[in-house]
Amino acid sequence: MTTKRIARYGLLIALALILSYLESLLPVFVAVPGVKMGLPNIVIMFALYSLGTKDAVIISLIRVVLAGAMFGNVFAILYSAAGAVLSLLVMALLLKTKRFGPIGVSVAGGVAHNVGQIIVAILVTETAQIVFYLPVLCISGIAAGVLIGIVSGIVIERLKIEDKR
């Protein structure tokens, strides 16, 4: 692991954590748990496009653990780790097909995040009825995904990293 890579991880993880914190301050404006903007996903999208899948996974998982420890609890970590892993998997696959732009990748990631969270919520509480939240969560996830996709697209375009290693 080069010094450059360590510095880059540190910078991006710090940025993702600030966005997680900012998001935790935003008021819950819908009476459905789990509705979020997904601001940290801007950083993950940037890492995915500009650095690579492996780097995006590392940054995402460290962010989830640290953000959970600072602004949440063990359940928050479990909850968002499932969302983060599923969402990254889907985003990396869509990026590989080279058919989708940042908006498509981000929207699919947002919806996958919601699906992952719902699955964990069902397993933790052993209550299958939670699946009723999924349609509402998906629609909010799509809206948030489009916005995050637009912002990420602009950021990725403007911040070109020349040396990928």
Partner 1 sequence: MKIRKADIVLVLVLLLVAAAAGIFMLAVRDTGGEAVVLRDGQEVLRLPLSEDAEEVITEGEDSNTVVIRDGTASVTQANCPDKVCVHTGEIRYEGQTIVCLPHKLVVKIEGGEEQSVDAVTQ
Q: Which residues bind partner 1 (CB under 8 A)?
A: 28, 31-33, 72-73, 75-76, 79, 99-104, 107-108, 111, 121, 124-127, 129-130, 132-136, 138-139, 142, 146, 149-150, 153-154, 156-157
Q: Please, are residues 38 and 112 in contact by the beta-carbon 8 Å criterion? A: no
Give the whole-angstrom CA distance, residue 24 versus residue 10. 21
Q: How many other CB atoms are found less than 10 A from the CB of residue 151?
A: 17
Q: Quick one: 40 or 141, whose CB is closer to partner 1? A: 141
Q: Quick one: 116 or 149, whose CB is closer to partner 1? A: 149
Q: Quick one: 62 or 142, whose CB is closer to partner 1? A: 142
DSSP 11-68: HHHHHHHHHHHHHHHS---SSSTT----TTHHHHHHHHHHT-HHHHHHHHHHHHHHHH
Give the whole-angstrom CA distance, residue 104 versus residue 95. 9
Q: Quick one: 81 or 134, whose CB is closer to partner 1? A: 134
Please, what is the minimum distance in Å from the beta carbon of residue 37 to partner 1? 16
Please, what is the minimum distance in Å from the beta carbon of residue 107 to partner 1? 6
Q: Quick one: 58 or 143, whose CB is closer to partner 1? A: 143
Give the whole-angstrom CA distance, residue 118 versus residue 15. 27
Please, what is the minimum distance in Å from the beta carbon of residue 100 to partner 1? 5
Please, what is the minimum distance in Å from the beta carbon of residue 82 to partner 1? 12
